[in-house]
Copies of this chain bind each other. A is one copy, B any other.
């Protein structure tokens, strides 16, 4: 029997509850398809941080890099300032393991209610390939003190008004700034991944940017996109401004097959994507380094107010688990988990409150595990 070792970081809030269901379902798939997973528990998250001061240490990350897939619940806690845990654990892992693909299927499963009108599972079935280690996520920024920002403000305003003699009072201003950066290699590899994926799907790649305004960074993105596109003449392409794509996700989701996007825009549009596929309770994601250590998680947060209530929907996490074992090579078992989720939804009698039911988190995990074993 094939034996896998998979590190698990249940994390904060509802993380432990939902990850428990994911492990239960993967164990059932293992029983059925002949593999066994040895789950290795890691305590990282708010409690661990508040007790020890450790977010996630280099030693831990080094240790984790021995594995090809990590299972993550969710990170974030109201006792800790916004960003500390997210950056210190979640983003630290994405960057440390160079998980340059954030893969987010946007798929309306049969039987799921979507808040957008007149859309069926045929209309909503695409995948967002989000760049995951660059862009405005690199964490470079700062502030200038009173009086020192005059020059920067003037440079900036004068870019639009070249040589205009503006009379702007800036002496007393303080400013804050943030820098985004993308590299040629970092851009190319994620776009390549998107094209490879499109070749296994419907041969269409939509690129997202805001090259009409953030022209330096996204002009570069477009050039790299065009270079890669030229080597895949069998794939159709188009460019979309990020503002416009939010409209098309709602009105014409059927236009999309593979969507490739810089990191920050990817963050925004995949939450919208989650909504059209029925809500955050149903949206999984994979942070992927095809040659290294990947990490699978629901795209939702830690929902602190539901913690410990055995109430939230574990499907996003279970679906992320199917992506995880798929990544390990257990393709058939991975597919069986998605089918079992679909069947659970179609049977329509074991479901959590967000889907209009009143089953518990663990009931849904039990039901999906049962379906896998019975089929």
Q: Is A338 an interface residue (CB 8 A)?
A: no
The number of times this chain is found in the oligomer is 2
A177-B217 in contact (CB<8A): yes
CB closest chain-B residue, reference A168: B98
Q: Which residues of B contact A141 (CB under 8 A)?
A: 214-217
Mark out the residues of chain A between 159 and 189 whose CB falls within 8 Å of any chain B CB in the assembled complex: 159-161, 163-166, 168, 170, 172-186
Q: How far is A357 from B320 in the complex, measured between Cα atoms in Å?
A: 45
The 10 listed contacts between A and B (C-beta, < 8 Å) are A61-B164, A82-B215, A92-B161, A96-B164, A133-B157, A141-B214, A142-B216, A152-B181, A173-B183, A175-B183
Query: How many angstroms from the CA of A47 to the CA of B365 in the assembled complex?
Result: 62
Binding site for B on A (CB under 8 A): 58, 61, 76, 82-83, 86-87, 91-92, 95-96, 98, 114-118, 133, 136-143, 149, 152-153, 155-157, 159-161, 163-166, 168, 170, 172-186, 210-221, 242-244, 246-247, 250-251, 264-265, 267-272, 274-276, 279-280
Known: A242-B268, A251-B115, A271-B246. A213 touches B175 (CB 8 A): no
Q: Are A183 and B153 in contact (CB under 8 A)?
A: yes
Provide the residues of chain B in CB contact with A251, threshold 8 Å. Answer: 115, 275, 279
Kindly identify which residue among B176, B186, B213, B270 contacts A87, using a CB–CB cutoff of 8 Å: B213
Find A178's partner among B82, B216, B269, B280 (CB 8 Å cutoff): B216
Nearest chain B CB to A293's CB is how many angstroms away?
Answer: 14
In contact, A176 and B168 (Cβ under 8 angstroms): no
Give chain B residues whose Cβ lies under 8 Å from the Cβ of A142.
216
Given contacts A115-B251, A152-B181, A178-B217, 11 further A-B contacts (CB under 8 A): A83-B213, A115-B116, A136-B214, A139-B159, A139-B213, A139-B215, A175-B182, A176-B182, A176-B219, A213-B264, A246-B275
* A264 cross-chain contacts in B, Cβ below 8 A: 210, 213-214
Question: Quick one: given A91-B213, A243-B268, A247-B274, are A156 and B139 in contact (CB under 8 Å)?
Answer: yes
CA distance A215 to B139 in the complex (A): 8
Shortest Cβ distance from A244 into chain B, in angstroms?
6
A185 in contact with B173 (CB, 8 Å): yes
- Report the Cα distance A136→B173, complex, angstroms: 18
